[in-house]
Amino acid sequence: MVLFQRYLLRNLVLQGRRHLGLPRPGKESSTPAWASDKARSPPSRSGSLGYSTSSGIAGVKERTLIAVKPDGVQRRLVGQIVQRFEQRGFRLVGLKMLKASDDLLSQHYHDLSKKPFYPNLLRYMSSGPVVVMVWEGHNVVRTSRMMVGNTNPAEAHAGTIRGDFSIHISRNVVHASDSVEGAQREIQLWFSRKELTDWDCCDHSSTYQV
Ligand code: UDP
Ligand code: MG
């Protein structure tokens, strides 16, 4: 009888621990669940070219192209712009400085070629080096557009990059892809596959629960 009571009591305690999500006694892990490898490493879902697609878990592998334009480089804003994406929690997977050719710029801005400002835009973008980057993370395309702010700095909110560092649409400091498809096209235009580095961010589990 006493044995049966003990058996019932033990089962009740175990059920209670299970209900609270606690491990069975003697099975405690030294790594908390939120920091475990399972929680940290999403499966790799790179596309055939090695560029991530929006199909990653909850878009964690989504990528975008960010460029510090020649005015931003001249005004020594590269560090502050990189810092904003790092501190937000995104992962840098590619970065380089170059003087963009007319050919590259005309492909990059092909959809604006009929706009009256197009010749000035190309002149501006080829006036000095640019720093181009690929950033990765959940919803990075949309979030980075919000971080960059309105195309016209006069309309850009304070706290956005354009709202904090620029005043005129012809010198708006930074570029950000405007869609996931556009980002994939731009990344392939500016970067070769081997220039992009896939790496594990050690604080992944502090940024995501996937
Ligand atoms: N631009 C300009 N005058 C305009 C509109 C755009 O000089 O009236 C330039 C500006 O540098 C802008 C770029 O063209 O960033 C590309 O324009 P888009 O509409 O794609 O804006 P974005 O995506 O950069 O916000
Ligand atoms: Mg655009």
Question: In tens digits, what is the pLDDT along the chain, a chain of 210 residues?
Answer: 555 555 544 554 445 444 433 444 443 334 332 222 223 333 333 333 334 444 445 568 999 999 999 999 999 999 999 999 999 999 999 999 999 999 999 999 999 999 999 999 999 999 999 999 999 999 999 999 999 999 999 999 999 999 999 999 999 999 999 999 999 999 999 999 999 999 998 888 888 887
Of 65, 147, 151, 179, which is best to mutate to test ligand 1, by the most ligand atoms within 8 angstroms of its C-beta? 151
DSSP 8-state symbol, 51: -
Residue 111 burial by CB count (10 A; 0-12/13-18/19+): exposed, middle or buried?
A: exposed
Separation of alpha carbons 110 and 91, rounded Å: 28
| Structure-block tokens of residue 183 | 């980002």
Going from the Cα of 151 to the center of ligand 1, the distance in angstroms, rounded, reads: 6
Q: Which ligand 1 atom minimizes the distance to the CA of 170? A: 7
Going from the Cα of 169 to the center of ligand 1, the distance in angstroms, rounded, reads: 7
Separation of alpha carbons 71 and 172, rounded Å: 8
Q: Of 177, 176, 174, which Cα lies nearest the Cα of 68? A: 174
| CA-closest residue to ligand 1 atom 19 | 151
Q: Of 174, 198, 177, 197, which Cα lies nearest the Cα of 189? A: 177
Element (H, E) at 175: strand 174-176
| Structure-block tokens of residue 87 | 């501190």
Separation of alpha carbons 62 and 100, rounded Å: 25
Q: Of 158, 164, 190, 193, which Cα lies nearest the Cα of 177? A: 190
Residues 6+ apart with CB under 8 A from 196: 50, 51, 93, 94, 134, 187
| CA-closest residue to ligand 1 atom 12 | 151
